[in-house]
Structure 1
Amino acid sequence: MTRADTTAPREWSGADSQVLYAMDKWADGFYSVNQHGHVSVCPLDDQELHIDIMDVIDAARSEGASLPMLIRFQDVIRSRVRRLNQRFQMAIQDSGYAGTYRSIYPIKVNQLQEVVAEILEAGREFNIGLECGSKAELLAVLPLITDETLLLCNGVKDRPMLSLMLNAQQIGQQVIPIIEKYSEFEQLLNLADARQFKPRLGVRLKLNTTGSGRWFESGGVSSKFGLTVPELVKLIQTLENREMAGQLELLHFHLGSQITDIQVLRSAVKEIMQIYADLMLRGLQIKYLDVGGGLGVNYGGDYDNPESSINYGLREYANVVVYTVKEICDERQVPMPHLLSESGRALTAHHSVLVVPVLGVHRPDSPPVAEVPVDSPAVVARMAAVYEDAQAAEKNGALLECYHDAQEIREETEQMARLGYLSVDHMAQSDSLYWSICREVLCKLAASGQTPVSAEQMALEKQLTDMYLGDFSVFHSIIDHWAIGQIFPVMPLHRLQEKPERRGQLVDLTCDSDGKVSRYVLSTGTSEYLLLHHLRQNEPYYLGIFLVGAYQEILGDAHNLFGRVDEVHVYANTDEANGFWIEELLKGISTKEMLSQVQYFPNDLERRMSEFIRRQINAGRIKPAEGTRILNNYTRRLEETTYCEIAPAE
């Protein structure tokens, strides 16, 4: 082998992309890069079936779907449900735990009927339950549950809601109102007394243990919901006086969504288990311990970002709950309760991918001028000389000197332009040379690998970040990123066997300066930019935003009147050529539907537009045929998507 062979740069591979975009941190075995350089999904835990997401996009578009689109891999939900329940079953078996475990899906995480239905179907063998927190949610799920399905009712409850819960209990449904305020308990008793009925109920407690992460205030003594210990004692005394102590079936606590630190969960379980043991020794017959929500998802961010990372896995989570409960039950010699957890984010986040086509890119730097005219002003000639020096420079010190010189000349150029001493052409020449110097300096500084990275290099990286215009709205599809800085993994869906050499930020269609993705997951940690590929003329470039299945679709805002995108529901099937079939395609909201939501009604708009065009025809400004064409064009656009139209692939 020659020396040239040993020093030749290794070709970029899909495995390199998989490392670059930190897929080992967030993909959880579901997503990877295939041999074609495309992102694929492995939705089934028990099969090595990989579905190419680019194939899904092509199939969906051939069936009439438009971009952007949300792809739901429904089998991923099934796999997540199985993983959660099986981990608890393993912990129960390994520890010799005497009780059982049931997972509860809180529908606030994603109330879409097809998601709830898929979870119920996937969890049928595990007797999965549901949780609701509002009147609308209660009305939505009551017809969906069987007489074996456990339905927990959290949140503020008025008399109509409590009546619905009592009705459900009377007809044999396993509905348990969770008392969050003492006044709810009093109302429940009054309604039950009127029916001469003894209701089943649970209680949420305010623990001294405080949660971890952004939502830590959901737990602890300052929590919005829950009874204090004195209120709990008062409630129990009332039940005992009525000979209804056996109606209290459940104890519940909640530490908040996305628990980041497993030790906090351990402390909370220990605290509530001491209360449970005291109540059992008092003679109560509590069946269930509900450890609430909070089972986190690793979105790939650094651990110092509490919305995006956790310090434990699913196995450790299950073990902490099971072994801690068993330990205290053994110590206090009380029966072991049946365990419940309200895991929503962990069941739904992974199954959805938002496909965003890139419409264009803005580069802050531009190609250098081919040649600087001899009659150019001195500042332009000096900038050209610095560019030549930067091209020849090899040492970091010389490169930084070129950068500093260019900055000084640029300031002088801007001052001369303000005073009218430079023409537009000369300004353009100087500006083009300045950015070429910046690009040259940055490329060489980055290639040197010097650490720590200089302040100048960090400044250049920020200045020379491209803006990739995506056909989507941050405010509708990933509102948690805008609102609380939640990190979502973003990466190209194809061309992953090519080395991405551009630094880019993904910006959306809205007119708001906040309409961008400002933090990204890379192998080196979270970053302000994403490494992306050069756009090719007349060739689509698709980015995927992952783990958007929890909360985002429900919380989505209608900023700039961008609404719901097309949805594609995909199931794995080994009998199909590409390993999948599209079970359903749901069209996104049309422009006229979006306008109706803000009280711009299509019939009125069309009438007003028609009258305006008629006046222009009568005034002789346009011909009748042209007026008809303009009106038809306007009404046709009302039927279309609120997003930019992307022509289907040939």
Structure 2
Amino acid sequence: MVSKPNMQKDGVRSNGQRPSSFHGDGFSPKRAWSIEDSEELYRISGWGDPYFSINAAGHVTVSPRGDRGGSLDLYELVKALKLRNLHLPLLIRFSDILQDRLERLNAVFAKAIARYNYNGIYRGVFPVKCNQQRHLIEDLVRFGAPHQFGLEAGSKPELMIALALLDTPEALLICNGYKDREYIQTAILARRMGQNTIIVLEQLEEVDYVIEECRRLGIRPVVGVRAKLSTKGIGRWGTSAGDRAKFGLTLPEILQAVEKLRAAEMLDCLQLLHYHIGSQISAISVIKNAIREASQIYVELAQLGAAMQYLDVGGGLGIDYDGSKTNFYASKNYSIQNYANDIVAEVKEACDERNLPAPTLISESGRAIAAHQSVLVFDILGTSDVTVEIPEPSDESEHLIIQNLYETYCSISVENYQEAFHDATQFKEEAVSLFGFGYLSLTERVRAERLYWACCASILAIVRQQDYVPDDLEDLEKIMASIYYANLSVFQSAPDTWAIDQLFPIMPIHRLDEEPTQRGTLADLTCDSDGKINQFIDLRDVKHILELHALKPLNASSAQSNSNASNHEPYYLGLFLGGAYQEIMGNLHNLFGATNAVHIQLTPKGGYRIEHVVKGDTMQAVLGYVQYDVEDLVENVRRKTEQALQERKITLDEAQQLLQNYEHSLSRYTYLSP
């Protein structure tokens, strides 16, 4: 893991804790907690600008049009959607953010082209694999039309989507991925109906397929080659480039492709160079090195006689998940304008040196376009806390281990807290051992454990105030953390947190004018020990706890009016920047299905309208995915109730209630709801 530089800014100390104006348990303020404190704690201005912020009520606000005006209170929006019978977890997509991201990408390339007097143009494409949801792709095509923004397909199913939905004149349809004859035939034939398909050759046999299908169909295709650059990527997807990369042609193979096309009198069809150095590139130096190498390959192909017109820089444009603006895998040390400037400047220099016309620049930025547009909001069902009580005094009648633990508790100070921790741990382990041999009663062991946790709580309060945390105390925060049970499935809604340790900003969407006095990790609904989130964004590296608020118990009147609800007031968290990849990669662990989703767009008068509602999976739907026939299931349960009736194990009323519950559940959301 790449660590961020050891920095000290925004009031954050070297141990990652808040400054000394906060003391005691770490969040007992000398002054009242403010929304500015929450902004700093959750780093929302770092990763959320210009779309997310906190208002005076302590609620997260969403500005879907960025700095062009208009905002929504996310907490109030969620409450309004719940009144429309849209239960949590709820995926909220903001169409205006999608449009704004697309316009920003086109604007930075336009600015770079003007700055460097670049004689070519920019034509972006959105990789369908990043988020294949129909309403999102339809929005992208609509928002991209003024910019002739196209699509990229990496498989035959994605090609089917792109051919049906992309209807923008001059927009490109880049055809990537493994290809069989049918894929290539379809892409070539699509040119007859006005689609600007470009077939990117990634395997040598694809060159032969293209030549054969061109002759058979009598249609001249436009093709490109994907180069395996020597420039290596960085981070999780660093192996996307290099000689042993999964996709693309080595330089000797590219020369072979050129000669095959020349022999077939089709070298004029070779018009594009493509490369890809990975997703979420955090360092601008990698981008600079890659475009420098690719630019030289491009001009060399032109010198060999290819009718080169396009240079496709692939994906990799990162987003700042943690707001640190560093060369960290969950961040990036460059702006989107830096990215465009470096690409345009390098390509212009290479072409000018050979007196070649500048190519049309293409990028396949999926994450940078789609990540911000959706927010997953989920509620907390309950917590599991480490119970810490002020211990009763010990006396000589108690076991020596208990006396030692109490003495350790009473002696804890700034001068000896590390030694006290080691002593308390040793005494606790001895208590467990004595209990195992029968020398300590259950009551005595419980007393020992309570004293141990009291020691830990006292030591942790001191640790939080230190500039440096000793290695042997680093895990104390995690040990003492509460578990917050979240109404979601990590495997369905945030699979990358489990699969590749991806970091997403997670924070409460309300109560941000209150101090978060709890530290916690998140556990989902699945019966899987990996169904948890215990890595969170931080200014330095990664933190393993999230600052949260204690759940508020319902008052008597609220409890009466919410008899089916939990015994605490709703507490909502949001997972942000998850609009890329997560929705399509989710799986049905424990048969928790797709969540409810809603598309929101601002209206000219400052309100909003719900463009689309996509209901989440019902139990009937997810059972169908795994080949269960619901009618058969109901009939099987009915027969079992009849058998139980015959054997007088159940009453008729009970049998009817069971069947009603069974059938009703099958039509319900797979997640928990009031």
Name the counterpart of 1:68: 89
Deviation string, structure 1 residues 552-604 (Cα, Å, up to 9, x no partner)? 1111111111110111211112525xx32222221110111111111222111
2:363 is paired with a residue of what secondary structure?
strand
Name the counterpart of 1:424: 442
Name the counterpart of 1:489: 505
In structure 2, what is the Cα distance between the partners aligned to 1:459 and 1:227? Answer: 47
Contact 2:50 2:67 in 1 (8 A): no
| Matched ranges for 1:338-353 at <5 A | 338-353=360-375
In structure 2, what is the Cα distance between the partners aligned to 1:303 and 1:467? Answer: 30
Closer, same or farther in 2 for the Cα pair 1:386/1:235, shift >3 Å?
closer
Match of 1:361 among 355, 374, 383: 383
1:518 aligns with 2:548: no
Name the counterpart of 1:609: 637
Match of 1:573 among 603, 618, 623: 603
In structure 1, what is the Cα distance between the partners aligned to 2:489 and 2:271? Answer: 45
Q: Cα distance, 1:500 vs. partner?
A: 1.1
| Matched ranges for 1:188-227 at <5 A | 188-227=210-249
| Matched ranges for 1:237-386 at <5 A | 237-300=259-322, 307-368=329-390, 376-386=398-408
Match of 1:539 among 569, 587, 594: 569
Contact 2:517 2:547 in 1 (8 A): yes
1:396 is paired with a residue of what secondary structure?
coil
1:319 is paired with a residue of what secondary structure?
helix
Contact 2:327 2:333 in 1 (8 A): no
In structure 1, what is the Cα distance between the partners aligned to 2:466 and 2:462? Answer: 10
1:504 aligns with 2:520: yes
Q: Cα distance, 1:231 vs. partner?
A: 2.7
Closer, same or farther in 2 for the Cα pair 1:98/1:379, shift >3 Å?
same
1:638 aligns with 2:662: no
Contact 1:365 1:464 in 2 (8 A): no
Deviation string, structure 1 residues 112-149 (Cα, Å, up to 9, x no partner)? 11111111111111110100011111111201122432
Match of 2:582 among 540, 548, 552: 552
In structure 2, what is the Cα distance between the partners aligned to 1:16 and 1:434? Answer: 32
Closer, same or farther in 2 for the Cα pair 1:171/1:400, shift >3 Å?
closer
Name the counterpart of 2:476: 460
Letter in 1 for 2:632: D
Closer, same or farther in 2 for the Cα pair 1:622/1:278, shift >3 Å?
closer
Using the TM superposition, name which of 492-501 and 414-423 deviates more.
414-423
Contact 1:20 1:523 in 2 (8 A): no
TM-score by length of 2: 0.90
Name the counterpart of 1:3: none
Letter in 2 for 1:322: V
In structure 1, what is the Cα distance between the partners aligned to 2:418 and 2:539? Answer: 28
In structure 2, what is the Cα distance between the partners aligned to 1:415 and 1:213? Answer: 45
1:503 is paired with a residue of what secondary structure?
strand
Q: Cα distance, 1:224 vs. partner?
A: 1.6
1:336 is paired with a residue of what secondary structure?
coil
In structure 2, what is the Cα distance between the partners aligned to 1:374 and 1:299? Answer: 56
1:477 aligns with 2:493: yes
Name the counterpart of 1:443: 461
Letter in 1 for 2:536: Y
Contact 1:301 1:526 in 2 (8 A): no
Match of 2:544 among 528, 536, 539: 528
Using the TM superposition, name which of 283-292 and 423-432 deviates more.
423-432
Closer, same or farther in 2 for the Cα pair 1:305/1:96, shift >3 Å?
closer
In structure 1, what is the Cα distance between the partners aligned to 2:430 and 2:249? Answer: 68
Deviation string, structure 1 residues 453-511 (Cα, Å, up to 9, x no partner)? 12454232221111111111111111111111111111111111111121111111112
Name the counterpart of 2:8: none
Q: Cα distance, 1:302 vs. partner?
A: 6.7
Q: Cα distance, 1:378 vs. partner?
A: 4.6
In structure 1, what is the Cα distance between the partners aligned to 2:293 and 2:302? Answer: 15
In structure 2, what is the Cα distance between the partners aligned to 1:625 and 1:372? Answer: 57
Contact 1:489 1:521 in 2 (8 A): yes
Deviation string, structure 1 residues 198-254 (Cα, Å, up to 9, x no partner)? 222122122222222221221122122222223322332333344332222211111
Match of 1:151 among 164, 173, 177: 173
Contact 1:54 1:493 in 2 (8 A): yes
Using the TM superposition, name which of 303-312 and 222-231 deviates more.
303-312
1:443 is paired with a residue of what secondary structure?
helix
In structure 2, what is the Cα distance between the partners aligned to 1:619 and 1:281? Answer: 88
Match of 1:587 among 615, 640, 643: 615
| Matched ranges for 1:28-39 at <5 A | 28-39=49-60
Deviation string, structure 1 residues 56-100 (Cα, Å, up to 9, x no partner)? 101110111011111111111111001100000000011100000
In structure 2, what is the Cα distance between the partners aligned to 1:254 and 1:375? Answer: 73
Name the counterpart of 1:114: 135
TM-score by length of 1: 0.93
Q: Cα distance, 1:53 vs. partner?
A: 0.6
Using the TM superposition, name which of 194-203 and 65-74 deviates more.
194-203
Contact 1:509 1:515 in 2 (8 A): yes
Contact 2:45 2:52 in 1 (8 A): no
Contact 2:44 2:323 in 1 (8 A): no
Letter in 2 for 1:28: D
Name the counterpart of 2:121: 100
1:166 aligns with 2:166: no
Contact 1:44 1:75 in 2 (8 A): yes
Q: Percent identity?
A: 39
In structure 2, what is the Cα distance between the partners aligned to 1:611 and 1:8? Answer: 63
1:505 is paired with a residue of what secondary structure?
strand
Contact 1:205 1:253 in 2 (8 A): yes
